[in-house]
Chains A and B, each alone.
Chain A
Amino acid sequence: MSVDAIFQSILERKRSDIAPLVQAEIDAGTEISVILNDGLIGAMDVVGRQFGDGLLFVPELLVAAETMKTGLEVLRPKLVGSEITNRGTVVIGTVQGDLHDIGKNLVSMMVEGAGFAVVDLGVDVAPERFLEAAREHRPQVVGLSALLTTSMPAMRRCIELFEDAEIDVKIIVGGAPVNQEYADEIGADGYGSDAPGAVRLIKRLVTET
């Protein structure tokens, strides 16, 4: 029944309740995989569906994800050696010449909330830095964000660099000055019109790969 309490604490976003609940369940000898799958991951699947259906707002999604993460931290030492996988890895950053990060941060948090490992490179990220991170972390998707029109060419340069380096990764773009037409023109694999759109796009691209 306490696994259900863990599940509920995520749905109800009780971020200070979950750690003792998970600990108690470990102490009671419940199988780790049951706590993980039926409690933590199961709850986030429901949260993700509710958000997708427009029933949850962004702050509710983010705090639910944080609650899940808090529970996972308690469980993590027990997971050593067993198979714990993310849905995939995403490298993300605001492109060179641009310091605006709210859109990128939002996408980053929401992608993480959807179960992906996220490597956030921050703002003003040079194309070479994206490439380096892609080689190091082997992501399925690289996300490029921009707010300024003058930083749009940096997206194109980044995609060209990846093409030259023949790195097998999907590159997606987003931000106020960008649209699908521009994404197509520079050879991006996708365009996210807002943060939830970016999450849907990433899920789709990762399923395809």
Chain B
Amino acid sequence: MLGRYQILSEEEQRIVHDQSVQVLGEVGVKLLSDRALKILGSNGATIDTESQVARIPVEMVEQALETAPKSFTLGGRTPEFDVPLPSPTSGYVLDLGGVFTRDLRTGERRYATLQDNEDAVRVFEQMQHASVVWPHSIAEDTSRASALRATMSTLMNTSMHVQDELEEPADVPFFIETLAAVLGSEDAVRKRKLFSVVYCTLAPLVHEGQMCDAYLDAIEFEVPILIFPMPAAGSTGPGSLFSNVVLGNAEALSSLVLFQMARPGTPLIFGDASGSTEFSSGGFLEGSPEMVLQTGARGEMARFYGLPNTQAGCLTDAKEPGPQAVMEKMLTTLPLVLGGVDMVQGPGALETSGVLCLEQIVVDDEIAGLCERMRAGVDISESKDYSSDIRSVGPGGHFLMQDTTLEACRSDEFFLPQLSDRNTFERWTELGKPDIYGKARERVEEILAAPLNNPLPDETVGNLQEILRRAQVELQ
């Protein structure tokens, strides 16, 4: 059974690797962290202290690739939500990195609130293909404890694995304390890996200082890092997909080297969120074919290195739910799923990941289901060989009453949509001409009306509130 999609041949993957290594050795990366420069310097990189550039030799890349774990599990709050990596099917990461929400009641685009975050994670948890949640950016709370508060709200409203960004080292103790309060001990934080962090390099070839230092602290608690470069071909990256893939791969390898040198064995997810450029304005585009060709290619690079991966996909630049959103999200999901990526990061978002839309979470789960069916392909194993039915039915007749058909009609062999309409025109009219977003909205309302699953004990919630109070005072 083939039915898979490959963007780069093995030879082309080798070329991307060789060029990435050349970039690291000749151009290097700029690190706005003295601590990171010191780590790289003491492990063999050439450091230019004035420009803060580290040139990384190929031997360091090879060493890092050896120590990086090839498999690990992103823990949920309960084992049923564990996400083992690599994964045989593609999971999904709810991407709430944006600051706006499309209001469920009014349809208005407005700043997101903590309530929106709670609603979104509760809806997402009920989705069949959901794996990991990235909390919403809450613009109403611009305090330094804002991300901690959003992560706590997420932990209180879902049992799923949570990922987020940490801004600076001072954040780390509060996050670890939060996780320990939820899981029972600091040891459990290391073992369960309930929380991971996202590391976006600044294209081209720059590492932030404070975030980098925070992550150097976090890895001491075995917090996994999603490495997530996002160069835009034609603006923050070169104007060809080939060279932009090389640039993103070089940025990812430099991050891999840094964190493996700092702590060998640190669990890393080799991801990518490259985009293309809207040349009329210079803006970032992610609902484009070029986006998914690049993140798909970077997923192949992750497998080339034998590393777990999350790739940006299921994305759109559409401003509203509707045809453009569905078209672009399908386009930017299917190649990743057919290519076999471990996780697709993007569902739930509109407008270049700037806006959360609750109905879109449900629609995107349907897209995920369709894509999963495509990946399963045509199973020609013995268990699906029903040629004896052809013999027994013979010419004419039908297969509707065969035992095999009876079993198959509710099996994975045939995808059953939750949203798409397959009725006759008359029946569809009788039903009030339902559309997928209307049905998605009903599902959202149903989930939000149901009681919260597996709430945290009151005592734990009290502990979290106490940690947050301290963080709001101490993080300035």
Contact = CB atoms under 8 A, between A and B. Distances in A.
Interface of A: 54, 57-59, 99-100, 102-103, 106, 110, 148-150, 152-153, 176-177, 179, 181-182, 194-197
Contacts of A100: 202
Contacts, number: 60
A151 B236 CA distance: 22
Given A59-B234, A194-B281, A99 B202 contact: yes
Contacts of B235: 58, 102, 106
Interface of B: 32, 98-100, 111, 137-139, 142-144, 146-147, 167, 202-203, 208-209, 232, 234-236, 277, 279-283, 354
A54 B280 contact: yes
A75 to B, nearest CB: 29
B99 A195 contact: no
Nearest to A99: B208
B138 A194 contact: no
A152 B280 contact: no
A57 B280 contact: yes
A149 B137 contact: yes
Contacts of B209: 99
The 7 closest A-B pairs by CB, nearest first: A57-B279, A194-B281, A106-B282, A177-B99, A58-B282, A153-B142, A149-B137
A58 B280 contact: yes
A149 B280 contact: no
Main secondary structure of the interface of A (DSSP, over half): helix
Contacts of B208: 99
A196 B278 CA distance: 12
A209 B99 CA distance: 33
Contacts of A197: 281
Contact of A176 (B99, B147, B234): B99
Contacts of B202: 99-100
Nearest to B167: A150
19 contacts: A57-B279, A57-B280, A58-B235, A59-B234, A99-B202, A99-B208, A100-B202, A102-B232, A149-B137, A149-B142, A149-B146, A150-B142, A176-B98, A176-B99, A176-B354, A181-B111, A182-B111, A194-B283, A197-B281
A194 B144 contact: no
A196 B99 contact: no
A118 to B, nearest CB: 16
Nearest to B145: A150
Contacts of A149: 99, 137-139, 142, 146
Contacts of B232: 102
Given A102-B236, A176-B354, A177-B137, A58 B279 contact: yes
Given A99-B202, A149-B139, 15 more contacts: A58-B235, A58-B279, A58-B281, A99-B209, A102-B236, A106-B235, A110-B282, A149-B137, A149-B138, A149-B146, A150-B143, A150-B147, A152-B139, A177-B137, A194-B281
Given A99-B208, A100-B202, A196 B279 contact: no
Contacts of A59: 234, 279
B138 A99 contact: no
A149 B113 CA distance: 13
B397 to A, nearest CB: 62
Nearest to A55: B280
Contacts of B147: 150
B32 A152 contact: no
Contacts of A99: 32, 202, 208-209
Contacts of B100: 179
